């Protein structure tokens, strides 16, 4: 039988995790240098900016990012102190609250975007052919949809309506 220590699957996950760690470092540093935003803050701002109305329920925001509910609470706390988002209580459900992007939040985000996109270009897309970029997106989408179902924007109470 083959040695499990040499299994290709170990190599693959090792490559995935090392790539992630490297990307997070280099992209996070660029982001922090350009705008002072943490990767988590940036993720929240991006998600809000890409949402019509620039606002989302806390729980939906958590579902659509890599943050847990408690992590999101603290991330929004910080963003609120910086004036980049605001909380608004939900009129139809007084337990709930919306996180809303402020104008300053949008401005800050837009100032950080070019450098961020350049970092992505330098460390991912410029290394790959156009075909590989397409392959990578297709592959990652399969993995993401499997390990994190419900992350898609319209996947609130819909049982199974795949895109």
Contact residues: DNA, CB under 7 A: 25, 38-40, 57-59, 62, 66-78, 87, 90, 93-97
In contact, 100 and 85? CB cutoff 8 Å? yes
d(CA 23, CA 110): 21
For its own copies, the binding residues in 75-134 under the rule CB under 8 A are 110, 113-114, 117, 120-121, 123-125, 127-128, 132-133
For the chain, first and last CA: distance in Å? Answer: 42
Q: In whole angstroms, how close is the CB of 77 to its own copies at the nearest point?
A: 21
Report CA-CA distances (Å) from 95 to 21, 53, 56, 76, 89.
37, 21, 14, 16, 8
Q: Name the helix (H) or strand (E) containing 101.
A: strand 97-101
Stretch that binds its own copies, among 72-80, 86-94, 139-147, 153-161 (CB under 8 A): 139-147
Q: Which residues bind its own copies (CB under 8 A)?
A: 4-27, 43, 46, 49-50, 65-66, 110, 113-114, 117, 120-121, 123-125, 127-128, 132-133, 135-144, 146-148, 151
């Amino acid at each position: 039988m083959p040695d499990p220590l040499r299994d290709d699957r170990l190599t693959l996950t090792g490559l995935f995790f090392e790539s992630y760690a490297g990307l997070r470092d280099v992209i996070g540093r660029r982001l922090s240098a350009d705008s002072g935003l943490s990767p988590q803050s940036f993720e929240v701002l991006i998600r809000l900016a890409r949402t019509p109305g620039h606002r989302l329920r806390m729980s939906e925001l958590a579902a659509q990012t890599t943050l847990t509910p408690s992590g999101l609470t603290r991330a929004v706390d910080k963003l609120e102190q910086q004036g980049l988002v605001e909380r608004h209580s939900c009129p139809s459900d007084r337990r709930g609250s919306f996180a809303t992007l402020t104008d300053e939040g949008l401005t800050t985000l837009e100032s950080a975007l070019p450098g961020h996109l350049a970092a992505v270009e330098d460390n991912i897309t410029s290394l790959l052919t156009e075909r590989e970029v397409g392959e990578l997106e297709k592959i990652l989408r399969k993995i993401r949809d499997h390990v994190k179902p419900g992350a898609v924007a319209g996947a609130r109470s819909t049982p199974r309506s795949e895109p």
